[in-house]
Amino acid sequence: MISGTWHRLSPLAVVYLFLRGTIGIARENLPLLFGAGAGVALFDAIGLREVALLAAVLLIIGFVVALLQYRRFMFRIDGDLLLVRKGILEQSELKVRSAQIQQVMVEAPWHLRAFGLVRFSVDTPGGAATEVELPGIRPATAEALRRALEPEGRVLDPAAAPTPNRIALHRASGIDLVLHGLANNYAWVALAALMPLFHRLSRSHEERLAEFDLPPWLEVLLEQPLLAAGGGLAAMLLTLMVASVIIAVLRFHGFVLERDGGRNMPPRFRQTSGWASRREQILNGARLQVVEHVQTPIGRLLGRSHLLCRQIGSVQIEQDPGGQLFIIPGLTARKSADLLAELWSGRASTATLERVHLHYRRIMWLRLTGVAAVLLGVIAGQVDDWRWWLLMLVFTPLFAGLAHLRWLSVGYAMRDGWLQIRVGLLGRRTSHFPAANVQRIQLRQNWFQRRRKVADLILTLATGPITVPCLPEERAWGMLEDVLERIEGPVLPAVA
Amino acid sequence: MSLRNALIDPSELAVSEPLRLTPVSPAFARYRVLALALRWLVAGAVALATMPDLAEAEPGLVFWPLGLTTLALLHLACAWREARSRSWGIRHHDLLYASGLIQRRLTVLPCNRIQHVETASGPLERRFGLLRLTCFTAGGLSADLVVRGLMSHDAERVRQYLLGRIHELDADAAPPLEHDPDPAPS
């Protein structure tokens, strides 16, 4: 039984804690040490043997710290509470009530899988990051913890508890994942994260590169700059696309989405995915705030989109390196509509969207041309050449087209207390949520909008603000009152 | 199942009325102008201290104090007008706050979304008898509401009212608990 007594992590977790701490320190300091050439200077100054000795001492300290972390780390279940004690110099005790848990994640990264261990973490509304993490426990312990934190697990003996109904909702095929990888910019994110390291390395190796003999084909290519630039760009794009597909396949390999939950219970959604790092995420349906249907520009061409389920305090970044977001990848239009209905227990409305006022198009066009005119004015003043202004002849119709595309992509609908708000330019992002989830409402009007009798409506949810721009004034007031009625009026019926 | 569909007296129907909000205290405009004027004075003092050196290098800079003073006066006038245009209101179910001069904003915060309420004041605000009221929600910074420009006694009364409403709403919403070992979450 997991309840009652204090439990420790698996003894093998010491190795994991040690490796994690060492890799963390190395990742933070290596670019600084070697990139700036300080490492070479250090070796020269104190000698290789001394450096090795210093490294050995640091490793021993790291191992002792990992051992102390293991000894002080304890957890137990007490009723509906998960208690975690940790800390070396400053001890802390965390208490998480099971009712507050939004998401449970059991992860088996390759370095833990080698020891037969998993990482267990829970998300609560308190913060964007994982609040409680148990690094390195047995899969059976993780399963017992998960069962104990479920509503039925608390009142019944977990051994005697009936297996909850589990229905498979979506399985992502290889084609789905390849198309998802092509449609999304996973490689760009990885590239952006590695850019500081590349920058430092390129600076330290600049001189050596200059002395390096280029192969003859590269020298011929470099003599034709346009061809070289085109080839380089194509090669970079191809590499990024391949890398993006590989990252997506590794992240979502074997993706299965299932629905748990019996009668009179809020649904729970479980997704299992990952190749090197196997991950199981369980989302509490009652804690769901917004479901976003995301169509990237390439995704629209390929006919694929993904769903993003956001809870209270959900991170606002798009590609989460830690895998915190609950993403359902590689969906066709029909499948995404079916899953939206499942996620909101059939209550979400998918009404035809209304367009915002035409003044929005004019405002967008004026903003873009205004910014471009100022920038070109500055450039023309700096280089003392008025011909820069001629570029406005190109930009003005281009911005008119962009403003029109933007206006076409923005839409909203409110029916039976459910809201859909779509934004985008070439891509589309549609947020689906019940009006009762709104935390704060703001009606905003600038001088121009007051004259034209239009207003922006900003609906702030526990995941962040969503704006419906340029609504006719009466419609904005009507929506504000409708949303208020949903928040302040009777609560929506319980999820079946 | 029988359907209840009784007639309603038309005179009892709610009539949509324009929102009538209460302007914030006139002391707030004086406080805003004084606070901004102090900032401008500090910035001006720093500029004057460095100006002689700069003026030697660039003679045109001697006209800058005039420009800066005009800009500061314009800023203070706008701040005064904006502070005078702020208003607030409290209804049974929500708290309202209107602000902004060129861009008008009306913010509505439902009482059942408020998690806790805080009042705070700086030394200059206390000098004018003002108190800031901050209402925190589950949505974090973007969903919180800061009501500025209330006199201390008004802010305290609103705080007490909101705390009472939160308590009432919590009592209405919470199901009876059989066992509550430790109410403190993480």
Per-residue pLDDT at A79: 80
B105: which 2 tokens?
A: 């904003």
Same domain, B133 and B109: yes
pLDDT of residue B175: 54
Residue A458 lies in a domain: yes
- When CB atoms are compared, the residue of B105, B109, B181 closest to A444 is B105
Kindly state the tokens that stand for A189.
């994110």
B113/A439 Cβ within 8 A: yes
- A2 domain residue, yes or no: no
Residues A156 and A247 in one domain: no
CB contact (8 A) between residue A442 and residue B139: no
Instruction: For residue A188, give both structure tokens.
Output: 């760009």
Tell me which of B43, B61, B83 is where a domain ends.
B83
User: Taking CB atoms and an 8 Å cutoff, what residues of chain B touch A312?
Assistant: 138-139
Positions of chain B with pLDDT lower than 70, given as ranges: 1-18, 52-62, 139-143, 173-186
CA distance B128 to chain A (A): 29
Residue A380: give the domain boundaries: 359-399
- Residue B17 domain-assigned? no
Selecting from B113, B143, B181 the residue whose C-beta is nearest the C-beta of A81 gives B181
How many structural domains compose chain A? 4
Report which of B173, B108, B134 is spatially closest to residue A483, judged by C-alpha positions. Answer: B108
Find the largest Cα–Cα distance for chain A.
83
From chain B, pick out residues whose CB is under 8 angstroms from the CB of A151: none
Whole-number percent of chain A with pLDDT over 90 = 26
Residue A243 sits in the same domain as residue A99: no
Backbone dihedral region for residue A384 (phi beyond 0: left; psi -120 to 50: alpha; all else: beta): left
Q: Write out pLDDT tens, residues A269-311.
A: 988 888 878 888 888 888 888 999 999 999 999 999 999 998 8
Question: Is A298 touching B (CB cutoff 8 A)?
Answer: no
CATH number of A113's domain = 2.30.29
A340 SS3 class: helix
- B142 and B127 share one domain: yes
CATH code at position B169: 2.30.29
Tens of pLDDT along B43-78? 888 877 777 666 666 666 667 778 888 999 999 999
One domain for residues A150 and A225 = no
Same domain, B123 and B165: yes
Number of domains within chain B:
2
DSSP for A144-178, written as a single string? HHHHHTSHHHHHS-TTTSPPPPEEEEEE--HHHHH
Residues B113 and B75 in one domain: no
Rounded Cα distance between A271 and A342, Å, is 14
* C-alpha to C-alpha distance for B164 and B170, rounded to whole angstroms: 10
pLDDT in tens, A417-463: 889 999 999 999 999 999 999 999 999 999 989 999 999 999 998 88
Chain B residue whose CA is closest to A94: B186
Task: Write the residue in A124, A484, A491 that is nearest to B108 by C-beta.
Answer: A484
Sheet containing B114-120: which strands, arranged edge to edge? B114-120, B130-137, B145-151
pLDDT band at A492 (very low <50, low <70, confident <90, very high): very low
Domain-embedded: residue A489: yes
Does B69 share its domain with B97?
no
CB contact under 8 A, A440 and B185: no
Q: Is A295 exposed, middle or buried (0-12, 13-18, 19+ CB in 10 A)?
A: buried
Given B36, B62, B83, the domain boundary residue is: B83
How far is residue A373 CA from its own chain's centroid? 36
Residue A378's identity, in one-letter code, is: V
Q: Do residues A311 and A369 both lie within one domain?
A: no
A249 and A171 in a common domain: yes
Residue A441: list chain B partners with CB under 8 A.
Answer: 107-108
Q: Is A442 on the interface with B (CB under 8 A)?
A: yes
In this structure, are B97 and B51 located in the same domain?
no
Residue A405 lies in a domain: no
Q: Does A464 touch chain B (CB under 8 A)?
A: yes
Are residues A180 and A144 part of one domain? Answer: no
Same domain, A352 and A320: no
Same domain, B132 and B162: yes
pLDDT at B83: 95
Same domain, residue pair A454 and A368: no
Considering the domain architecture, whether residues A449 and A307 belong to the same structural domain is answered as no
Kindly state whether residues B67 and B97 are assigned to the same domain: no
Residues linked to residue A434 through DSSP beta bridges, in sequence order: A418
Same-domain status, B75 and B93: no
Give the range among A67-76, A188-197, A474-483 with minimum mean pLDDT.
A188-197
Residue B16 located in a structural domain: no
Phi-psi region of A211 (alpha: psi -120 to 50; beta: other; left: phi over 0): alpha
Chain A hits for B168, Cβ within 8 Å: none
| pLDDT for residue A335 | 92
Judged by CB atoms closer than 8 Å, whether chains meet at A96 and B185 is answered as yes
A453 close to B (CB below 8 A): no
Pair B54, B125 in one domain: no
Please check the confidence at residue A195 and state whether its pLDDT lies above 70.
no
| Higher pLDDT among residues B54 and A166, named by residue | A166
Q: Is the pLDDT of residue A162 over 60?
A: no
pLDDT score, position A314: 60
One domain, residues B61 and B100: no
Residues of A in contact with B94 (CB under 8 A): 484, 488
pLDDT for A136? 84
Question: DSSP per residue over A387-402, as a string?
Answer: GGGGGHHHHHHHHHHH
A263 in a domain, yes or no? yes
**Are A317 and A456 contained in the same domain?**
no
For residues A128 and A97, which has the higher predicted lDDT (pLDDT)?
A97
CA angle A251, A254, A260 (to 5 degrees): 105
A374 shares a domain with A313: no
Q: What is the pLDDT of residue A424?
A: 92
According to the model, what pLDDT value does residue A42 have?
A: 66
Say if A205 falls within a structural domain.
no
**Average pLDDT for A185-210:** 63
Q: Is B62 contained in some domain?
A: yes
**Spatial separation of the C-alpha atoms in residues A224 and A218, rounded to whole Å:** 10
Assigned domain for A404 exists: no
| Cα–Cα distances in angstroms (integers) from residue B171 to residues A127, A427, A490, B113, in the given order | 26, 45, 15, 14
Q: What is the pLDDT of residue B185?
A: 39
3-state secondary structure B101-131: CCCEEEEEEEHHHEEEEEEECCHHHHHCCEE
Render the burial of B7-46: b for 16+ CB within 10 Å, e for the rest.
eeeeeeeeeeeeeeeeebbebbbebbbeebbeebeeebee
| Chain A touched by B82 (CB under 8 Å) | no
Mutation for testing the B interface, residue in A460, A463, A481 having most B CBs under 10 Å? A460
| pLDDT computed for residue A320 by the predictor | 55
Nearest Cα to Cα of residue A13 among A146, A155, A153, A118: A118
Within a domain: B4: no
Residues B93 and B168 in one domain: yes
Counted across chains A and B, CB pairs separated by less than 8 A come out at: 93
A191 and A233, same structural domain? yes
Does residue B110 form part of some domain?
A: yes
Q: Which strands make up the sheet holding A74-78, listed edge to edge? A: A7-8, A74-78, A81-86, A92-97
Range of the domain at B48: 23-83
- Name which of B113, B144, B182 is nearest A95 (Cβ-Cβ): B182
* pLDDT tens column, A357-400: 999 999 999 999 999 999 998 988 888 888 888 888 888 999 99
* CB < 8 Å to B139, chain A: 312, 439-440, 460-464
